[in-house]
Amino acid sequence: MPPGMSLQSDGASSSLSDPAASFPLRRFHEERGLPFKVAAPIASETFVAYGHAFQDRFVPGLEQRDVMAISREGDGYRLTLLDGEIVRAAKVVVAVGMHRFRNVPPFLRELPGRYVSHSADYGPVDALLGREVVVVGSGASAIDLAAALLGGGSNVSIVMRQSEIAFQDPPGRPARLPNFRNPGSGWTSKFCAVAPHLFHMLPERTRRNIVASRPGAALAWFMRDVIDDIPIISQHTPLRAEVRDNRVQLQLVSPDGTVTYMWPDHIVAATGYRADVARLDFIDPALMEQLRTVDSAPVLSRDFESSSRGLYFIGPMAAMSFGPVMRSVYGAAFTVRRLSEHLVRSSAARVAPLPLRMGQASSHIFSSPVR
């Protein structure tokens, strides 16, 4: 996120999950003498500091090493680390987050890198300041970036297919009744947030419709005023982009078929993410073939286990099974409770554990490189 932006979730739904709920975001604020309001926006810098404090408190021995390959070996798994070391495990939990699943529309993929980027590339927007920029998208990332660019003096516009920007309901507004034919409704979002175990029981078609209709976080209510000074070209679909005279010719079409053009210096695709297990290039091809998928996401049991026994997926990879809340911090509380209870039960039932490295504990946290 660009510096100075706020999370789309408020203080009531931005706490990280520990077993005793002993270090919520409110406690972090109190320990540092910071004001805290349940319904107030949380600065991204504050949340990052909270995340580091959380990790230091609960996982001080985090082992930050890259996993280059995971393959099946007997009844367990073989992990090859960047330095060539081999780690064997009975169970593996894949929690890779969103970054490697960046979705860039086909019409932008052939542009040279200097003319196109994805919203996940920012952070600071210094490289784009003073330039004419078109942001494609209508979600939180699009508005955050456009606001940061406008504040830095760039000439920025937003292009989106939708007729209007979707905002979250402000605190205190009565929830609407559930409407699964309109999965974007506020009540449906609340259902997905509080009952992922029930979401898992819905028919596959219903789950797919809900997940497809919720590609990213709705814009927070407090962002309404931010967009007033940003030109928005709504109900226009970008069709083609090509470089001409060191600028990008962006072709747009309106609902009545009218074609118009824009000529920015740069296009930012704030077009979300698409969880695709095939992008996890550290998974051995033979193991990949064992994974059952729906819309490129692994099919998961009620305990987050894939069709390859002992291999689990959490975070955005679990959204198709447990709902779009799996893409957010809020979904972690259900995830870690359900998964950890299952892992404890299944580990207790094992008779002969697989060998680990000498002197090492029975669980580890590694990272994987994003290519």
Kindly write down the DSSP assignment for every residue of 14-71, as one continuous string.
-----TT--S-HHHHHHHTT----TTSEEEHHHHHHHHHHHHHHH-TT----BEEEEE
Q: For residue 64, name the pLDDT band (cuts at 50, 70, 90).
A: confident
Percent of the chain at pLDDT above 70?
Answer: 86
Domains of the chain, with CATH numbers? 6-58 (no CATH), 101-269 (3.50.50.60)
Give the range among 101-110, 190-199, 200-209, 221-230 with minimum mean pLDDT.
221-230
Q: For residue 218, name the pLDDT band (cuts at 50, 70, 90).
A: low
pLDDT, tens only, 313-336:
999 999 999 998 888 888 888 999
Structure tokens, 348: 């207790």
| pLDDT value at residue 184 | 41
Backbone φ, ψ for residue 219 (5° rounding): -70, 135
SS3 content of the chain, % helix, strand, coil (to 5): 35, 20, 45
Distance of CA 100 to the CA centre of its chain: 10
pTM comes to 0.82
Structure tokens, 168: 């979250």
pLDDT, tens only, 95-122:
998 888 999 999 999 999 999 999 999 8
Alpha-carbon distances of 119 from 135, 191, 227, 325, 330, rounded to whole Å? 9, 28, 17, 20, 22
Backbone φ, ψ for residue 170 (5° rounding): -70, 160
Structure tokens, 58: 């609960």
**Furthest-apart CA pair in the chain: how many Å?**
68
> What's the CA angle centered on 209, arms 137 and 371, to 5 degrees?
55
Q: For residue 181, name the pLDDT band (cuts at 50, 70, 90).
A: very low
CB 147 within 8 A of CB 226: yes
Mean pLDDT of 339-366: 64
Q: For residue 351, name the pLDDT band (cuts at 50, 70, 90).
A: very low
Q: Name residue, tokens 């099919």.
A: 299
Q: Ramachandran region of residue 38, left (φ > 0), alpha (ψ -120 to 50) or beta?
A: alpha
What does 153-190 look like in DSSP terms, one character per residue? T-EEEEE-SSSS--BPPPTTPPPPPP-TTSTTSHHHHH
238 has a pLDDT exceeding 60? yes
Residue type present at position 358: M
Give the range among 21-25, 231-235, 303-307, 346-350 with minimum mean pLDDT.
346-350
Peptide bond before residue 152 is cis, with ω within 30 degrees of 0: no
| Cα–Cα dist 306/313, whole Å | 7
Residue 122 half-sphere exposure, CB side, CA atoms within 13 Å? 27
pLDDT, tens only, 146-174:
988 998 888 999 999 988 877 766 665 55
Mean pLDDT of 193-206: 88
Q: Name residue, tokens 């009545």.
A: 256
Structure tokens, 356: 């680990």
Sign of the CA dihedral with 360 first, then 361, 363, and 366 last: negative
| Cα–Cα dist 171/186, whole Å | 12
Length in residues, the chain = 371
Query: 3-class DSSP state for residue 360?
Result: coil
| Cα–Cα dist 117/99, whole Å | 13
